Amino acid sequence: MTQLKYLPLMLGMLLTACGQNMVKASPPAEGTPPGASESSEPVKQAGSVPVPVVADNLPKLDLTPDIFYQFLLAEIAGQRGEIGLAKTAYLDLARKTRDPRLARRAAEISVFARDQEGALEATRLWSETDQDSERASQTLAALLLAQGKLTEAEPVLRRLLANDAANGFMQIPAMLANTRDTQASFDMVQRLAAGFPALAEAQFATAQVAIQAGKNEQAAAALQNTEKLRPGWEPAAVYRAQWLAKTSRADALGFMRDFLASYPQAREVRLAYARLLVHANQYPEARSQFNRLTSDFPRNADVSLAAGLLSLQMGDTQAALDLLTQTLAYGYKDPDTVHYYLGLVTEELKQPEVAAKHYQEVRDGEFLVRARSRQASLLARQGKMGDARSLLSSTLGDNDAQRVLLVQAEAELLRDAKDYASAFQVLSDGVKRYPDASDLLYDQAMMAEKVGKLDVLETNLRRVIELKPDAAQAYNALGYTLADRTTRLDEAVGLLDKALSLAPDDPFILDSMGWVQYRKGNFVRAREFLDRAYKARPDPEIAAHLGEVMWVYGKHDDATVLWQASLKNHPQNEVLLETVRRLKP
């Protein structure tokens, strides 16, 4: 959102657009092209105020008091966070003046305000008044496609493709990613691609949209055509491998092996191959690929970063440290990212002071909030809870998602310190600010259980389920709580059945179902579920539940062995300790 400090710049824009009858521009300096754009430097004369050069496509209007007042109203409203007022004022200004820059501003604010109709009207006006603007056409096409207006979007896309077909086709699949009518999308892209039969990007776009529409045969044919038109093209190869991996990791690995045999210098494919090898737990071969990459592309920051992150994922922290340190030395374009991961690595290596310094070096970007959260955690572990909370409160997230993460981070610090009441309050304040943030609602529900507010827990989890009907853990948390803390056992079973339908192998959901079966007196069924859960994940709370079923079923020795083994690894687990004390005096 524009702040007041930008007002002189914006006023200059209005003077250029609307003040041509008030200020006469001086003749352009020698060498200045006629019809200079809005980005042209002002013409300067000795002893005079710079006067902006007027672009030919701008409207010739007086800067009336009404227009000036409305512009100030829009800017100040935006600065104060009154987005609705700013949007309305800018859109009205754009209608009155037909200035493409005001139309663009109205479009941007309408998008920010999630006003689709306002954004579409403003962008149509922007595109009409600046027909040479590729940005306007791209934005208009994206908005039309997002609203399912494919018929209206198609001629706009044709204009974009006429100017730059390769780049245009590369953008189309992303524009269509959320379109509901995938068949219509596929048909449209086929029509567009028909005009460019020799263009690999057209076939690549067709393949991607075919996959979105579930047309696997057409996708495979389009990818084959892409390879014929542009052999060895890495973006298409990586995409094909990712597509294959969704159904067969072995097929994806085989495809990439064959591709690399033909194109051994294909860096992006080799990186993707190494990543997939890690996911397949084929660590020796993955390591071989890392070594090949660093040998073939020495002093390449992208390669050393990827190899460092994959080493971290494999648990080889020393290799990760070496590679990430090299990445910084090679001048990687985004040092904030590298410092964040170096912080994680040095934390893993038990070097908290070094880790804190790396986190402090993260100044901006997507990892800023995460870095500050890790810094705060380090401070809290040193007993500096006040400093930790102050650090988080002084961190400004760039968007609501980051601000939610900051709330969660502060609550986590308090939870770890067992200050459940304060954690619940922090989350409650966060939910007031972000009432539809499902993660916050879930966290507050879990903390509500700690402070005995089961009504809040149930209300929040049902709201999470409403917001995210496929949230298996929300069904699980509510079902388990009803099983453990109430007599509503049949209702709990229904919720856990739904959770298992969404995540049938989740060990915690299996544990919950085992627990509710135990509470209903179905000991055999309880043992079946709990055995499966513990085999999948030997968690101490699952061990507590399984051991209790064993104990009640008369298997005291088995229960004791299980509890002792779990306590050896988790000596402070509260649920496990309480179960042992209660059943084994």
The secondary structure of 483-519, three-state, reads HHHCCCHHHHHHHHHHHHHHCCCCHHHHHHHHHHHHH
For the ranges 32-46, 96-110, 242-256, 525-539, the lowest mean pLDDT is seen at: 32-46
Average pLDDT over every residue of 172-181: 87
User: Which residue type, as a one-letter code, is found at position 149?
Assistant: K
Residue 259 has pLDDT above 50, yes or no: yes
Q: Which pLDDT score is estimated for 96?
A: 81
Predicted confidence at residue 585, as pLDDT, reads 67
On the question of pLDDT at 74 being above 90, the answer is no
- Measuring CA to CA, which residue among 391, 453, 442, 443 is closest to residue 415? 443
Q: Note the pLDDT of residue 19.
A: 40
Is 70 exceeded by the pLDDT of residue 61? Answer: no
Could you tell me if 488 and 455 are in contact, meaning their C-beta atoms sit under 8 angstroms apart?
Answer: no
Q: What is the pLDDT of residue 41?
A: 39
CB 573 within 8 A of CB 564: no
pLDDT for residue 45 is more than 80: no
Assess whether pLDDT exceeds 90 at residue 97: no
Separation between Cα atoms, residue 67 and residue 76, nearest integer Å: 14
Q: pLDDT at position 484, please? A: 93
Instruction: Output the pLDDT for position 136.
Output: 82
Q: Which two tokens stand for residue 525?
A: 């069924």
Predicted local confidence at residue 287, as pLDDT: 86
pLDDT at 69 over 50: yes
CA 384, 388, 391 angle in degrees (round to 5)?
140
Residue 22: predicted pLDDT: 32
Give the Cβ contact number of residue 558 at 10 Å. Answer: 14
Tokens coding 29: 């300096």
pLDDT above 60: residue 62:
yes
Q: At 100, is the pLDDT very low, low, confident or very high (cuts 50, 70, 90)?
A: confident
pLDDT at 13: 45
- Could you give the percent of the chain with pLDDT greater than 90? 63
Identify any residues that bridge with 43 across adjacent strands, giving them in sequence order. 51
Among 83, 5, 7, CA closest to 400: 83
Cα–Cα distance measured from residue 317 to residue 311, given in angstroms and rounded to the nearest whole number: 7
Give the C-alpha separation, 353 to 359, whole Å.
10
Q: Which pLDDT does position 73 carry in this prediction?
A: 77
Out of 32-41, 298-307, 412-421, pick the least confident.
Answer: 32-41
Predicted pLDDT of residue 408:
96
Nearest one of 473, 547, 559, 484 to 508, comparing CA atoms? 473
Can you give the pLDDT at residue 60? Answer: 64
User: What average pLDDT does this structure show over 541-566?
Assistant: 94
What pLDDT score does 242 carry? Answer: 94
DSSP codes of every residue in 193-242: HHT-TT-HHHHHHHHHHHHHTT-HHHHHHHHHHHHHHSTT-HHHHHHHHH
Residue 177: per-residue pLDDT: 84
Residue 558 CA to residue 551 CA, distance in Å, equals: 8
Mean pLDDT of 455-464: 97
Predicted pLDDT at 203: 96
Mean pLDDT, the chain, whole residue set: 86
- 77-81, 226-230, 510-514, 523-527: range with lowest mean pLDDT: 77-81
Check residue 284 and give its pLDDT: 87
Average pLDDT over residues 221-243: 96
- CA gap 342, 344 in Å, rounded: 5
- With a CB cutoff of 8 Å and minimum separation 6, the contacts of 513 are 493, 496, 497, 500, 529
pLDDT higher than threshold 50 for residue 170: yes
Domains of the chain: residue spans and CATH: 1-26+39-132 (1.25.40), 538-585 (no CATH)
Write the pLDDT tens digit of every residue in 488-534: 999 999 999 999 999 999 999 999 999 999 999 999 999 999 999 99
Q: Which of 18-22, 525-529, 568-572 has the lowest mean pLDDT?
A: 18-22
**What pLDDT was estimated at residue 17?**
42
Which pLDDT does position 37 carry in this prediction?
37
Tens-digit pLDDT profile for residues 370-414:
999 999 999 999 999 999 999 999 998 888 999 999 999 999 999
406 close to 373: Cβ distance less than 8 angstroms: yes
The confidence score (pLDDT) of residue 31 equals: 37
- Mean pLDDT score, 267-283: 90
**Could you identify the residue written with the tokens 């908290």?**
352
Tell how far CA 459 is from the center of its chain: 27
The band of 152, judged by pLDDT with boundaries at 50, 70 and 90, is confident
- Residue 443: per-residue pLDDT: 97
